[in-house]
Amino acid sequence: RNIRFSLRLKDESLSGHFDTRAVGICLDHLIDNALSHAPEGSLIEISAKAVGEDIDIWVFNVGAAPAADDIERLMRPFETGPIAPGRTQAGAGLGWAIVKLYCQAMGGDFKVTTSPGLGLKATLRLKSAT
């Protein structure tokens, strides 16, 4: 599908208090979701930066995105949105619910912002070591 990735670290010295395995699982879910909804030839951006006493890690993709009113519903287990173009069936509806639970268990938060027609930004907010 010719999807490109961009990794952008705003500060290469980021360190935090979190479970690296859990963060990996979260990123796996978010990248899989981005791949499912990104159009042919598009770019998926993975970025991280310090925000006060926190670290934000986000995955951004252009393409289909749910309406802002659907975000909270889609963070509940087994809730799904429309089937992404190119997929034959919907996901299980667990990805965002798992990400949210892991973030909360690490003392952080998870949020999704969308711009219909422009894309989706999924952000993990975790505690930094500073």
What domains appear along the chain, each with residue ranges and CATH number?
A: 4-127 (3.30.565.10)
Higher-confidence residue: 116 or 30? 30
CB atoms within 10 A of CB 113: 14
To which residue do tokens 């599908």 refer? 1
> Crossing angle of helices 95-105/20-37, nearest 10°?
150
pLDDT in tens, 26-80: 999 999 999 988 889 999 999 999 999 899 999 999 987 888 888 888 888 887 7
Classified as helix, coil or strand, 39 is: coil
Distance of alpha carbon 104 from alpha carbon 82, whole angstroms? 26
| Distance in angstroms (rounded) separating the CA atoms of residues 68 and 114 | 6
As given in the structure block, the two tokens for residue 43 are 């770019």
The percentage of the chain sitting over the pLDDT mark of 90, rounded to a whole number, equals 51
